[in-house]
Amino acid sequence: MQAKETYSQAEKVTFNFENISLNTFIDEIENTTDYRFVFKIKDVDLNRLFDINVKNKPLDSVLNKVFRETKTDFKIVKHRVYLTKSFVKKVSHEPINQNNIIQGIVIDKNNQPLLGASIIEKGTLNGTTTDFDGKFSIKVSDQDAVLVVSYMGFTSQEIPVNGQSVLQIILSEEASSLDEVLVVGYGIQKKAHLTGSVSHVKGETINKRPITNATQAIQGLSPGVYVNTNDGEPGNDDASIIIRGIGTLNEAEPLVLVDGIEAPFDNLNPNDIESVNVLKDAASASIYGTRAANGVVLITTKRGDSGKQVVNFNSSYSFTSPTVLPNFVYDTRTYLENYVEAREYTGTSTPFTPELIDELAALPNTNWLDEFVQTGVVQNNDLSFSGGSENVSYRFSTRFMDQGGYLKGDWYTKRLNTRLNLDAKLSDKFNLGVSMAFTNTKNRQTPKNDPGEGLGNEGTVDRYGGKGNFLYQILLVAPPNMSVYDEFGRYGGTGVESSKSQRDNPQGLIDNQSISIKDNEFFGNAFIEYEPIKDLKVKYTIGVNSTQESWEEVRLQYEQYDRFGNQSAIRVPGSLLSSRESNIYNFTNWLQASYAKKIGKHDFNVMVGVNQETSTTRRIATYEQGFGSTALVKVGNGTESVDITNYNGEWVLQSAFSRFNYNYDNKYLFELNMRRDGSSRFGENNRWATFPGLSAGYVISEEGFWNRNFISHFKVRGSWGKLGVQSSNLYPYASELLLGKDYNGNSGAALTKLGNPNLEWETTTTTDIGFDLGLMGRKIYLEADYFHKESKGILTDLDNPLTTGITGEISINSAQIQNKGWELNLTTNNSVGDFKISTGLNLTHVKNKITQIDPTLTNNDDKVHVSSGDNVWWIRGESINSIYGHEFGGVFQVEEFNTDGSLINGIDYSWIGTPRAGDIKYVDQNGDNIINENDMVVIGNRNPEWIYGLNIDMKYKGFDFSLFFQGVGKVNSFINRYTGNYGHSGLREFWLDSWTEENRSNTVPRIFVDRDGFNGASISGNGGLAQSSFWVTDQRYVRLKNIVLGYSLPSKVLDQISFSKARIYVSGQNLLTFSKLDDLDPERNAYANHLGGTLPQAKAITLGVNLTF
């Protein structure tokens, strides 16, 4: 009987002995290989004699022969051979009857019957399962048959029938099921002993699908965790992570730690990840105090094992294209006739007479998306070496990714990752560990806005949206009557024949405008651990994270020419250059001591520690225009709008932390965490704060009265804790002075912001109640939680009283936010012979609500208009970042007007304008017959109330097949600009169904030009207060994120080519989406109000290979 792993397949042995004892044979193996045997002398007959003659055979095959038909089982785990006493009991020596029927029972070590255990006759499809009492009956082919007995969470066994008719089979539980160890704050814990809410994602799950951004590794895999990839551009995917809802008006991203040190998630090599653990409740995360209110993501990287060196090589090649593209009109006649109609609606003229339209329609059309959307290519190559001796182990890895985009042009992300992890046992009392990683990234992107719009010295875009990828935006608005090149090979334009305004030439943009980003990041940490006495361990860790970034945007001048050869436009006259050099250096170190003691059934664990973290940022940025020629566009050569800025920032965080764990007989569990933080971001009055967390659990299934026949595991747990958030600003408590405010010719400065020395930490208090339920030996496993988060004292900028004479805002602790909901994670595992199937379903429902912003206001008066263009509001009683405006009431019809053009119902629309038939109708919410700001209501929610994911994994012999679905529900976006209604050109097919006298639609209003006319007011009229829900989209979707089909070569083939593993696979990403959006990708930046503000996600077909030797 055996349980084999791939380690043993790599080791081939040759033996030729007669009448050798088992004791001598074990010594021979240990002397000639890296394997070591572990066993209890009383369980193994070391004096047994046997003959063995094998040549170049796998070790597991040899051991299977040696221990066949004995009372010894073996299992190989990472170069260790564990020998145990066989639990197969021969209870009858009766010969098989004439029908070859075997009867038996399958039980665990506590004599509990195992319901649903699989019994398969080896080498056949003949099989059965045990009943409620663990009993089975199976007819086998002959007396030499072998039964394969398996049960989820237990070690499978192969049972030779050997002429028996009745069997009693005792299965032992797998260590990985009972004793799985998870990484938690400053330590590890058995999963069975967890009392908080922690999600666990294994590296093997992450590595199943090719990803370019490591943040995507947990998307759809962890309940309560919302990961949104905001853009499909290489290097600008900007994936965000929100855990159990947004709990602050400031930065809402979780704390991400790699091997205990803060580091970015997205730059990590996915193949280096051993596991990802997400601390979601306050009790689990309170050990990290002030930085844990938004949750904590703990990433553990792979490390080496002692034994022979193992080499892994993974390579993949992907072909990408957009998931969906907007449907635009590229027929010149249709385009221009509709444009004339849209202009006539606003009472303005156009140059497009019927004769000119005929002339232009006879010329070739340009389908801009067909011209500039291509097949992108992504290459990934990953190589790792791991191994070591008894006292030293290592793992070195390197990966190169070359991700090209699907838009025409040289847009890419090229990333080189290297990592070295070393571990050494210096003595019985000292252990040492070192981790070093270096990442080099080169990224070339398109510009993100119009020239000079939102660039500034930082080259940043408004956090609430922006126009997004400039090239994609131009492709959506370029008219079909403009050509790529004129007859002389110059960039085409439209000149006086432009609709609305002439647009940039996409090819001219590709050739002359770009953003180049170069990043070098070094990450390193080291620890030394000392055990002065048994069970007491003292550990000191030091870590650094250094990032150097060079950012440069170049926009060179170029010209466009119309069809008559006339110069129609000069783009970026004098050229433009914006650059930035940044250096960020983080240093952290902590000292911790832990003591673990077991006294009878009482298990204690105490840990205390201190920590200090510092961060320094240095940045210089320049902005220049007016270069003599495109050849002179370099830093320092600009003659216009020259601006140079410097930025220096530092912060320090000092902390003390502790944890106490108590466990009685694996049944009663208790944990207490405590952290005290002091931050330089607060004044002396409130610099320090304490963050406690406690949790408890009761494993009912461990009680003696519990019958584990069906419900094999049942644990209830609860937790409470308080977490903090420090300001994202470095010195929010200090007043600000602005130089250059001269008075009467004298140099001076002005106070522009009042400081608040009494600022305190934001605090988030979370209560969590949950249970873990395992059925039929954990064939079915359910984890469920209810949570309630209250965030108070949220740092908010509010207007100063006018009596202060200061127009700037002041920061105070005023806002409050509530998040509450539930989540579940359901997994199943089953097997029938060689066929194995496992599934995982996670589902989260979360409701977000602002309960206070300004304490001096009440109800709906307590609101802040954060961004007018993108329609972002904070409103008491509503979800954060709500969409607020007027409810779309349909489209005005002819019969609703009097002959003089007035409305029959008498509703006053003068606040917006004068409506006509075909215009957008507003709902009079308060019934006063006046449409104004008093009729505004919440018309959309940007925070998904539902988050879900589904995994299905199947294996049959060498084949593996998996499906992964992910989605969100009840979530909206607001898209009101460049939506194809001639927003600076561009006609979307959607508008071909607009209201006309012949087509009196009640869902699509008459066509108009961008923000012109009565309908245009619904986009941004009255400072954004006239915006309509007509522009609100339903963003819910279900997406097939990944599908994989793989095949692993059998061992007999691997033996011939000297590989221990060889797998080839084909996969597809984002191939299928179910959404209410016909021509938009629902997975987008929820704050981008421009149609092209988010580049669609890429769908990909990938070919790959995994090799181990």
17-34 pLDDT tens trace:
888 989 899 988 988 887
Q: Are residues 185 and 248 both part of a single domain?
A: yes
Query: Would you state the pLDDT for residue 359?
Result: 94
Helix, strand, coil tally for the chain in percent (to 5): 15, 50, 35
Domain-embedded: residue 236: yes
Mean model confidence pLDDT for the chain: 88
Query: Would you state the pLDDT for residue 2?
Result: 33
| Element containing residue 60 per DSSP (H, E) | helix 59-67
Question: Token pair 């403009």 is at which residue?
Answer: 482
Average pLDDT over residues 96-106: 76
Q: How far is CA 290 from the centre of its chain?
A: 23
What band does 81 get if pLDDT is binned at 50, 70 and 90? confident
For β-strands 181-184 and 255-258, DSSP reports them as unpaired
Among the residue ranges 496-505, 695-704, 763-772, 804-813, the one predicted with the least confidence is 804-813
For β-strands 255-258 and 296-301, DSSP reports them as parallel
Residue 868 has pLDDT above 60, yes or no: yes
Q: Are residues 223 and 116 both part of a single domain?
A: no
Query: Domain containing 182 — which CATH number?
Result: 2.170.130.10
Q: Are residues 269 and 329 both part of a single domain?
A: no
The CA–CA distances, whole Å, from 512 to 182, 461, 1094 equal 51, 21, 22
Query: Would you state the pLDDT for residue 455?
Result: 34
Listing DSSP states for 351-397 in one string gives S--HHHHHHHHTSPP--HHHHHB--EEEEEEEEEEEEE-SSEEEEEE
For residue 93, give every residue at least 6 positions away whose Cβ sits within 8 Å of its Cβ, in sequence order, or none. Answer: 163, 164
Average pLDDT over residues 761-784: 91
State how far the Cα of 886 lies from the Cα of 915, in Å rounded to an integer. Answer: 15
Query: Domain containing 57 — which CATH number?
Result: 3.55.50.30
Q: Are residues 159 and 181 both part of a single domain?
A: no
Average pLDDT over residues 111-130: 83
Q: Are residues 186 and 287 both part of a single domain?
A: yes
State how far the Cα of 472 lies from the Cα of 209, in Å rounded to an integer. Answer: 28
Q: Identify the domain boundary among 273, 306, 339.
A: 306
Query: Would you state the pLDDT for residue 458?
Result: 35
In 3D, which of 828, 827, 825, 829 has the Cα closest to residue 842?
825
Contact 729, 708 (CB under 8 A): no
Q: Identify the domain boundary among 372, 392, 411.
A: 372
The CA–CA distances, whole Å, from 282 to 140, 402, 981 equal 56, 40, 48
Domain-embedded: residue 287: yes
Residue 784 has pLDDT above 80, yes or no: yes
Residue 457 has pLDDT above 60, yes or no: no
Query: Would you state the pLDDT for residue 445?
Result: 92
Query: Would you state the pLDDT for residue 164?
Result: 80
Q: Identify the domain boundary among 85, 102, 126.
A: 85
Q: In angstroms, how far is the first alpha carbon of the chain from the final one? A: 26
Query: Would you state the pLDDT for residue 190?
Result: 83
Q: Are residues 169 and 187 both part of a single domain?
A: no
Q: Are residues 218 and 301 both part of a single domain?
A: yes
What band does 807 get if pLDDT is binned at 50, 70 and 90? low
For residue 656, give every residue at least 6 positions away whose Cβ sits within 8 Å of its Cβ, in sequence order, or none. Answer: 608, 609, 610, 611, 675, 676
Domain-embedded: residue 833: no
Contact 290, 691 (CB under 8 A): yes
Query: Would you state the pLDDT for residue 803?
Result: 56
CB atoms inside a 10 Å sphere around CB 19: 7
Domain-embedded: residue 513: no
Q: Are residues 226 and 275 both part of a single domain?
A: yes
Q: How many domains does the chain have?
A: 4
Query: Would you state the pLDDT for residue 176?
Result: 46
* Segments forming the whole domain that contains residue 61: 2-85
Task: Classify residue 117 by its DSSP letter.
Answer: -
Which of 185-189, 777-781, 962-966, 979-983 shows the highest mean pLDDT? 962-966
985-1009: pLDDT as tens digits? 789 999 999 999 999 999 999 999 8
Average pLDDT over residues 363-384: 96
Among the residue ranges 31-40, 737-746, 904-913, 1032-1041, the one predicted with the least confidence is 737-746
Query: Domain containing 119 — which CATH number?
Result: 2.60.40.1120
Average pLDDT over residues 441-463: 58
Q: Are residues 264 and 348 both part of a single domain?
A: no
Q: What percentage of the chain has pLDDT greater than the value 90?
A: 58
For β-strands 101-107 and 166-170, DSSP reports them as parallel
Domain-embedded: residue 836: no
Contact 1049, 1108 (CB under 8 A): no
Q: Are residues 8 and 59 both part of a single domain?
A: yes
Query: Would you state the pLDDT for residue 175?
Result: 55
In 3D, which of 939, 973, 867 has the Cα closest to residue 464?
867
Among the residue ranges 452-461, 600-609, 720-729, the one predicted with the least confidence is 452-461
State how far the Cα of 1068 lies from the Cα of 1081, in Å rounded to an integer. Answer: 17
Query: Would you state the pLDDT for residue 732?
Result: 80
Residues comprising the chain, all counted: 1109
Residue 743 has pLDDT above 80, yes or no: no
Read off the tokens for 710: 């069906």
What band does 156 get if pLDDT is binned at 50, 70 and 90? confident
272-325: pLDDT as tens digits? 999 999 999 988 998 998 888 999 999 999 999 888 889 999 999 999 999 999
Among the residue ranges 117-121, 149-153, 850-854, 990-994, the one predicted with the least confidence is 149-153
Higher pLDDT, 267 or 456: 267
Read off the tokens for 139: 């007819």
3-15: pLDDT as tens digits? 333 344 447 788 8
Domain-embedded: residue 298: yes
CB burial of residue 990 (10 Å; 0-12, 13-18, 19+): middle
Among the residue ranges 204-218, 354-368, 754-768, 955-969, the one predicted with the least confidence is 204-218
Domain-embedded: residue 96: yes
Residue 90 has pLDDT above 50, yes or no: no
Contact 1069, 1098 (CB under 8 A): yes
177-191: pLDDT as tens digits? 446 777 888 888 888
State how far the Cα of 662 lies from the Cα of 900, in Å rounded to an integer. Answer: 83
Higher pLDDT, 58 or 889: 889
Contact 61, 72 (CB under 8 A): no
The CA–CA distances, whole Å, from 157 to 120, 121, 359, 932 equal 11, 12, 82, 75
Among the residue ranges 658-672, 796-810, 829-843, 901-915, the one predicted with the least confidence is 796-810
Query: Would you state the pLDDT for residue 824?
Result: 95
Domain-embedded: residue 234: yes
Q: Are residues 76 and 130 both part of a single domain?
A: no
What band does 805 get if pLDDT is binned at 50, 70 and 90? low
Q: Is 415 helix (H, G, I), strand (E, B) or coil?
A: strand
Read off the tokens for 504: 């940039």
Q: Are residues 251 and 196 both part of a single domain?
A: yes
For residue 1082, give every residue at least 6 positions away whose Cβ sits within 8 Å of its Cβ, in sequence order, or none. Answer: 1035, 1036, 1037, 1073, 1075
Query: Would you state the pLDDT for residue 778?
Result: 77
334-347: pLDDT as tens digits? 999 999 999 988 88
Query: Would you state the pLDDT for residue 998?
Result: 93
Query: Would you state the pLDDT for residue 757?
Result: 85
Average pLDDT over residues 64-70: 80
Average pLDDT over residues 729-741: 76
Among the residue ranges 387-401, 496-510, 1036-1050, 1066-1080, the one predicted with the least confidence is 496-510
CB atoms inside a 10 Å sphere around CB 1059: 17
Q: What percentage of the chain has pLDDT greater than the value 70?
A: 94
